[in-house]
Amino acid sequence: MKVIEGGINAPKGFEAAGVMAGIKYENRKDMAIVYSKEPCVVAGTFTSNIVKAAPVKWDMDIVENSPFAQAVIVNTGIANAGTGREGMECCEKTAEVAAKILGIPEKAVLIGSTGVIGAKLPMDRIEEGIKKLASAKSEDKEAGTDASKAIMTTDTVNKELAVSLEIKGVTVTLGAMSKGSGMIHPNMCTMLGYVTTDAKISKETLTGLLKEDVKDTYNMISVDGDTSTNDTLLVLANGLAGNEEIKEGTPEYEEFKEALHFINETQAKRLAGDGEGANALIECKVINADTKENAKKLAKSVICSSLTKAAVFGHDANWGRILCALGYSGAKFDPDNMELYYQGSSASMLIYKDGTGTDYSEEEASKLLSEKEVRFLVDVKLGNESATAWGCDLTYDYVKINADYRS
Amino acid sequence: MKVIEGGINAPKGFEAAGVMAGIKYENRKDMAIVYSKEPCVVAGTFTSNIVKAAPVKWDMDIVENSPFAQAVIVNTGIANAGTGREGMECCEKTAEVAAKILGIPEKAVLIGSTGVIGAKLPMDRIEEGIKKLASAKSEDKEAGTDASKAIMTTDTVNKELAVSLEIKGVTVTLGAMSKGSGMIHPNMCTMLGYVTTDAKISKETLTGLLKEDVKDTYNMISVDGDTSTNDTLLVLANGLAGNEEIKEGTPEYEEFKEALHFINETQAKRLAGDGEGANALIECKVINADTKENAKKLAKSVICSSLTKAAVFGHDANWGRILCALGYSGAKFDPDNMELYYQGSSASMLIYKDGTGTDYSEEEASKLLSEKEVRFLVDVKLGNESATAWGCDLTYDYVKINADYRS
């Protein structure tokens, strides 16, 4: 597997575009399309929030019941959540317009929305946007980048990625784009994440792979503990690479799995590191836990702790807050028999062991906390299970962005 | 029951004091004592955090195993948590010194600490502080106020309260002091809360009452989702009022229960409203839930949501965030059949019903969100159970305080 240039339209047969449709923002791209020349099998995971946005309900139906999908239409600025029956009608209209112009069935059009909850979509602009997208869509790398920019809300950078791998001499490619920022505490998957591939793979196999992989990737990040109403992660596979079908239990399956995991983990970490107002990515790795479940609880508790996040923002080696977060995680461990390390790009410091702090240098510890990636390693010495979670620091800008967001 | 002047030393036979001991802060009172002339039965609830501070372990042992308690010694600035064996030795020494000077058994001395985790207590100053406290302790109202000020950390106001009630013609009094601010998400009780009473009541009855009451009071508040290592709530009853013993199943029991609940709810709300950096108290009341458990989950999810808290700070009527928090609470409800109201001191506005926002005035809603107490009422129309939770807004100052706290 190797990382290649490009993003969502890197795999064969995929086109993309991002255009200005004036949904909410001015002078920026705010609608995107991903289109496959051939029908795709599609796998998806969605928010576990009881309050599901209309496009989430729409996509869930397609993933479950449609024989294939062929396009994704995304708008930013308005989430189309908390919009009742009218919200579903917007999805129906969007699919109708896109299907007609693209010459595909309505139930092959997936829809994504992100932005303010409760506002109504301006359907006239959405319709104009779809027309622009249909004529702008292309295989060019720039068009994929445009799409990844068009799905941003308070994200500060676009997030695209592509990898290729050889499957029995045939090159298979995966591409991805995601957006995150606030209301990020995925509990199935993230705000909006899209992966394309030209691999030939069945819907069942792809779905199984995706559902397993999100548990260790998108479900292990948090910006603010708020699980969105719009979380959607979709993988579309059009089979145009011409590989022999990928089947479970083969070496090719493992290679494809590794590539998909790399895509999902990288994109998830990017969402965490670019959380609203964030200065730093926080990683917490827990090793030697008694169960995988407990390793995850411990790691996630640390990266969700507001006090730990604020201490990282202040470059303050206040390890007591990490210990405290481990302690209320609900997972088993012995605070008198565990070790906590701070790790940076070129150093690892033992901070806590045998029930109390070590004689570490505050100055050196503060330096590690000033890096763009702050890493905590927790060894609980109980078994062989490990897990990693990712979050970001809590800053003035998080408060500023979210006190002002709608205005 | 009526609210009276005074606080922790309002009941008969209780003395208190607060003194400057120079534990961490300069030029402010940072050690407190509560002392009863007669032995007290004591009930307590403590943090559910696996990482328990040394004084929490010390107090748990006394509450469980000692026949009585007679004094509480509290210091602020240093939490004496994450301090290993040395931390327990500090408790032993504190009790030894206090017991000797007060002429009571060591195992009648309860201890409370709050502040930075991991730092060591300066035992020489603690010892000097205890001597000062022993000579300063008094029944004067000012001495009780001094004690309530001495236990503050980043609290902006001291929190004391007293009530009296008649039990078969005998006046019984309850007094209280509490401190909160950050790392407040009690999961047994709050950071530090003390209640005294001169009522005659058995340890079993008092313990039963307390354990039930914290579920609806201290366990329903949150400042930042972080459950402290030091949470302690103690009730001391010395019986000096001379009432007939309060027994379960009597009208007097109900009256005493009501008084204790009033004390706990009022103090808990004060902690929430004075959360670190907070401008406003946020109350969320959920009515007509199918179960009490679900009502609590829904109410607590809203007051814990960082995005909702930031929106209150910005006076932004972004109800989608409340809907979102209800949705990921884990409790059952139908987003298409519920109502959300914003309530202020003189108005109540229906904001959301039948799956979408109402035609409310943004300006009026923003006004309600500018009050010092912001109230959300959620009617989920499923049953007869209700619950209320309290939190505070998320402000720049919360981040500032917690990025700087140790320095």
pLDDT band at residue B153 using 50, 70 and 90 as cut-offs: confident
Q: Which residue of A has its CA nearest to B88?
A: A355
Question: 3-class DSSP state for residue B48?
Answer: coil
Query: Tens digit of pLDDT for each residue in A58-74?
Result: 999 999 999 999 999 99
A79 to chain B nearest CA, in Å? 10
Cβ contact A88:A58 at 8 Å: yes
Neighbours of B344 (CB within 10 A): 17
Model confidence at A407, pLDDT cuts 50, 70, 90, reads very low
Distance CA B350, CA B343 (A): 9
Q: Return all residues near A224 (Cβ < 8 A) that are at least 6 apart.
A: A182, A183, A184, A185, A275, A276, A398, B306, B307
What CATH architecture does domain B2-273 belong to? Answer: 4-Layer Sandwich (3.60)
A273 has a pLDDT exceeding 90: no
CB A168, CB A151: distance < 8 Å = no
CA–CA separation, B73 vs B30, rounded Å? Answer: 11
Looking at the predicted structure, is the pLDDT value of residue A34 above 50? yes
Q: How far apart are CA A135 and CA A126, in angstroms?
A: 15
Read off the pLDDT of each residue in B182-191 and give the average, rounded to a whole number.
Answer: 62
Tell me how close the Cα of A322 comes to any Cα of chain B, in angstroms: 10
The domain spans of chain B are: 2-273, 281-404
Q: Which of A94, A145, A154, A190 is catalytic?
A: A190
Inform me whether the pLDDT recorded for A188 exceeds 60: no
pLDDT of residue A217: 84
The pTM of this model reads 0.83
Among chain B residues, CA nearest to A228: B324
Could you tell me where the beta strands, DSSP code E, fall in A204-335? Answer: 232-237, 281-289
Give residues with Cβ within 8 angstroms of B386, minimum separation 6: B285, B286, B287, B288, B289, B295
- Contact present, B180 and B165 (Cβ < 8 Å): no
Q: Do A311 and B352 touch (CB under 8 A)?
A: no
- Please report the pLDDT score of residue B139 as a whole number: 97
Q: Which residue has the higher pLDDT, B283 or A219?
A: B283
pLDDT tens digits, one per residue of A291-330: 999 999 999 999 999 989 999 999 999 898 999 899 989 8
Task: Give the number of other CB atoms < 10 A from CB of residue A334.
Answer: 11
For residue B166, name the pLDDT band (cuts at 50, 70, 90). very high
Write phi, then psi, for A160 (nearest 5 degrees): -130, 160
pLDDT tens for each residue of B46-85: 888 888 899 999 999 999 999 999 999 999 999 998 888 9
Residue B327 to residue A116, Cβ atoms within 8 A: no
**Which architecture does CATH list for B281-404?**
Roll (3.10)
Does the beta-carbon distance from A314 to B403 stay under 8 Å? yes
Among residues B115, B113, B123, the alpha carbon closest in space to that of B54 is found at: B113
Catalytic residue among B145, B190, B232, B388: B190
Task: Decide: B282 and B376 in contact? Cβ < 8 Å.
Answer: yes
- Chain A partners of B310 at a C-beta cutoff of 8 Å? 398-399, 402-403
Tell me whether residues B320 and A81 touch, CB distance under 8 A: yes
Please, what sign has the CA dihedral across residues A310, A311, A312, A313?
A: positive
Average pLDDT over residues A364-373: 94
Contacts of B396 in chain A (CB under 8 A): 396, 399-400
Average pLDDT of A332-349? Answer: 93
**Contact between residue A182 and residue A154 where contact means Cβ atoms under 8 Å apart:** yes
pLDDT tier, B403 (very low <50, low <70, confident <90, very high otherwise): confident
Amino acid at B4: I
Interface probe for B, chosen from A324, A351, A353, A401 (most Cβ of B below 10 Å), is: A324
| Chain A neighbors of B306, CB-CB under 8 A | 224-226, 306, 398, 402
- Measured in angstroms, the CA of B99 and the nearest CA of chain A are apart by 28
Q: What are phi and psi of A118, to 5 degrees?
A: 100, -25
Length of chain B: 407
Q: Which residues of A touch B352 (CB under 8 A)?
A: 82, 118
Q: Chain A residues with CB inside 8 Å of B307's CB?
A: 182-183, 224, 226, 402
Residues 6+ apart with CB under 8 A from A14: A8, A34, A35, A36, A37, A139, A175, A196, A198, A236, A238
Kindly list the residues from chain B whose CB atom is less than 8 angstroms away from the CB atom of residue A86: 356
Q: Give the residue on B whose Cα is nearest the Cα of A336.
A: B84
Dmax (CA) for chain A in angstroms is 69
Distance from the Cα of residue B360 to its chain's centroid: 36
Residue to mutate among A46, A48, A51, with most B CBs inside 10 A, is A51
Q: Which of A190, A378, A373 is nearest to A296 (CA)?
A: A378
User: Which candidate from A311, A332, A406 shows the least CB-CB separation from B318?
Assistant: A406
Q: Which of B356, B358, B362 to mutate to test the interface with A (most CBs of A within 10 A)?
A: B356
Give the pLDDT confidence score for residue B186 in this predicted structure. Answer: 63
Out of A37-41, A192-196, B185-189, B399-403, least confident range: B185-189
Strand-pair partners of A171: A166
**A229 min Cα distance to partner chain B (Å):** 6
Closest residue to A396, CB basis, from B50, B79, B399: B399
Q: What per-residue confidence (pLDDT) applies to A406? A: 61
- B190 is annotated as an active-site residue: yes
Look at residue A364 in the predicted model and tell me its pLDDT: 93
A256-261: long-range contacts at Cβ-Cβ below 8 A with a sequence spacing of 24 or more? A256/A165, A256/A167, A256/A172, A256/A199, A256/A201, A256/A209, A257/A209, A257/A213, A258/A1, A259/A1, A259/A163, A259/A165, A259/A172, A259/A174, A260/A174, A260/A195, A260/A209, A260/A210, A260/A213, A260/A235, A261/A213, A261/A216, A261/A217
| Closest Cβ opposite residue B183 in set A307, A335, A404 | A307
Distances (CA, A) of A218 to A148, A180, A223, A321, A326: 18, 11, 12, 24, 21
pLDDT confidence of residue A117: 85
Which residue of chain B has the CA closest to A85?
A: B355
- Say if residues A56 and A230 touch (Cβ distance below 8 Å): yes
Beta carbons of A323 and B395 less than 8 Å apart: no
8 Å CB contact between B44 and B59 = yes
Question: Cβ contacts (< 8 Å) between A407 and chain B: which residues?
Answer: 314, 316
Say whether B402 and A307 touch across the interface (CB within 8 A).
yes
Residue B188's nearest CA partner among B52, B13, B315 is B52
Residue among B14, B94, B40 at smallest CA distance from B235:
B40
Q: Which residue of A has its CA nearest to B186?
A: A328
CA distance A27 to chain B (A): 24
| Mean pLDDT across B328-345 | 93
User: Which residue of chain B comes nearest to A222, CA vs CA?
Assistant: B306
Vertex A71 angle, CA A68 and A77, to 5°: 135
In B, which residues are within 8 Å of A282 by CB distance?
none
* Among the partner residues A310, A319, A354, nearest to B402 by beta-carbon distance: A310
What is the structure's pLDDT at B188?
Answer: 46
Packing angle, helices A396-404 and B396-404, rounded to 10: 170
Nearest to B81 among A79, A187, A320 (CB): A320
State whether A306 and B304 contact (CB < 8 Å): no
Confidence at residue A268, expressed as pLDDT on a 0 to 100 scale = 86
CA–CA distance, A122 with A76 (Å, rounded to integer): 12
Report CB contact under 8 Å: A355, B83: yes
Q: Quote the pLDDT of residue B122.
A: 96
Smallest Cβ–Cβ distance between A324 and the set B117, B323, B395 belongs to: B117
Chain A residues in contact with B392 by the CB 8 A cut-off are none
B226/A307 Cβ within 8 A: yes
How close is the nearest chain B Cα to the Cα of A7, in Å?
A: 31
Please count the other Cβ atoms lying within 10 Å of the Cβ belonging to residue B67. Answer: 12
Q: Which of A84, A224, A324 lies closest to B183 in CB terms?
A: A324
CA distance to partner chain A, nearest, from residue B52 (Å): 8
Helix, strand, coil % in chain B, rounded to nearest 5 = 35, 30, 35
Mutate to test the interface with B, among A88, A356, A359, A397 (most CBs of B within 10 A): A356
Q: Which of B267, B151, B275, B279 is nearest to B224 (CA)?
A: B275
Distance from CA of A49 to the nearest CA of B (A): 5
CA distance A78 to chain B (A): 11
